[in-house]
Amino acid sequence: MDHAAEAQRTDLMTITRHALNEQGRHPESRGDFTILLSHIVLGCKFVASAVNKAGLAKLIGLAGVTNVQGEEQKKLDVLSNEVFVKALVSSGRTCVLVSEENEEAIFVDAPLRGKYCVCFDPLDGSSNIDCGVSIGTIFGIYMIKEKDNATLEDVLQPGTDMIAAGYCMYGSSCTLVLSTGNGVNGFTLDPSLGEFILTHPNIKIPKKGKIYSVNEGNAQNWDAPTAKFVEKCKFPQDGTSAKSLRYIGSMVADVHRTLLYGGIFLYPADKKSPNGKLRILYEVFPMSFLMEQAGGQAFTGKQRALELVPTEIHQRSPIFLGSYDDVEEMKSLYASESSTA
C-alpha cells in the first residue's frame, strides 16, 4: 500500500456513505436501517473513547455487581451497556434489545418503537481490559414481524433470519466490521475526523488457513473429534506444516484475526461446559453470519451454526468457525464419530 498516497486521499468512503449506497440498492427503503446503524456507530465511538482512557478515568476494576452470566461486571461493562441501550432506544428504530448484561430482554416503549431487534454484547473480552488486550462489541440485527405486538418469540429466531451483523474491536486501532448480507467490509476509526473510513473492502477469508485458535487449557475435557483435530494441527500426518496456535481469549480479537488471515476458531463443548460457552444470539450468530458472508463456515459440532433455533435469550452453543476447508475437516471428524457411535 502506498501510505503517502493514502494520506492524501480525498474521496473517503465513510460507514454512513457506505450504508446510504447500500440503501440506494433497495428503492423501497426508508432509511430506517441507516439511522439504526448510525446510532450503533455512535455507541462504538463512545466506548472506544472510554476504553482509551479507562485507566486514567478509573474505569478499570469491578463495579461490585454480577451479571446474569455470573461474571463480575467491570465498570466499563456497565458503562458500555448503558451507552448502547440508550443509543439504540433513542434511535426510534428498535423494538426489542437483548444484551449480555441484562437478564431479561428490553422491550422499547411504544412511542419509540421501530421494526428492528438488536442482540449485542456491549463489551466482549472485558476481563482483558486491565492488560490492554483488544476487546470489542458484537451485534446482530433482526427484523420484527409486528412492532406493536412484539414478543420474546420475535427474538428467538434462527441466525439465517439475521439481516445484519458486525463487531467493533477496540485495540491498536478501532475497527468496525459489518455485513448487511452482501459481503463483509471493515472500517477503521480516523480519530482526527471522528469517522469510520472503509479500509478493508469486501473481506474474503482464505479457503484454508495456517492458524488454529482454541483454549488448550480445556484439552482434558474435550470430545474425541476436537482432540483429533487439534492433534492433526500440531502433528500433521500428510507431510504438511503444523498449524500455528494463536489464542487471545477475546472472541472479537480471535475472530478478527481468523477472518483476515484464515484458519479456524474453536470453542467446543466439553465435560465442564456440555452446552458450550459462547452465547448464541450475540456471539455465535453474528460471528457465524460474518464468516459465511466472507466465504467461510460455522459449525456447532452437529449442524450449521446459523440454523440453530434458540429457545432462550442467553442460551449457549459450541462453535467452530473459520476457513471453509478447515471447518470442513472438523465436520468430517464429527461425521465419522457419529457413524461409529
All domains of the chain in start order, with CATH? 8-202 (3.30.540.10), 211-339 (3.40.190.80)
CA nearest neighbour of 227 among 325, 297, 296, 301: 301
Per-residue pLDDT reduced to its tens digit, 103-136:
999 999 999 999 999 999 999 988 887 788 899 9
Hunting for cell 467446543 — which residue is that? Answer: 268
Radius of gyration of the chain (CA): 20
Strand partners, 265: 213, 321
Helices 32-52 & 75-90, crossing angle to 10 degrees?
Answer: 160
Q: Name the residue with cell 487439534.
A: 230
CA distance 74 to 130: 10
pTM assigned to the model: 0.92
Contact 48, 168 (CB under 8 A): yes
Q: How far is CA 139 from CA 8, 29, 57, in A?
A: 33, 22, 26
Residue with cell 426508508: 30
Given this model, what pLDDT does residue 311 score?
96
The reported pLDDT for the residue numbered 231 is 97
For residue 270, the 8-state DSSP code is: B
Which parts of the chain have pLDDT scores under 70?
A: 1-9, 54-74, 341
8 Å CB contact between 317 and 275 = yes
Q: What is the pLDDT of residue 63?
A: 58
Which tens digit of pLDDT belongs to each residue from 55-92?
666 655 555 566 666 655 568 888 999 999 999 999 99
Residues with Cβ < 8 Å from 60, sequence gap 6 or more? Answer: 54, 74, 75, 76, 129, 130
Question: For residue 320, what are the β-bridge partners?
Answer: 266, 299
Handedness of CA 36, 40, 45, 49 (dihedral sign): positive
Residue 11: per-residue pLDDT: 79
Pick from 243, 282, 237: which is nearest to 265 by CA? 243
Task: Determine the pLDDT at residue 307.
Answer: 98
Question: What per-residue confidence (pLDDT) applies to 239?
Answer: 84
Q: Are 138 and 101 contacting, i.e. CB atoms less than 8 angstroms apart?
A: no
Q: What is the DSSP letter of 267?
A: E
Q: What is the pLDDT of residues 24-44, one digit of tens each?
A: 777 777 889 999 999 999 999
- Tell me how crowded residue 99 is: count the other CB atoms within 10 A of its CB: 27
Contact in structure between 290 and 170 (CB atoms under 8 Å) = no
* H or E element, residue 259: helix 251-261
Model pLDDT, residue 24: 77
**42: enclosing H helix or E strand:** helix 32-52
Give the pLDDT confidence score for residue 146 in this predicted structure.
82
The phi and psi torsions of 224 (rounded to 5 degrees) equal: -60, -45
Q: What integer pLDDT is reported at residue 53 of this predicted model?
A: 78
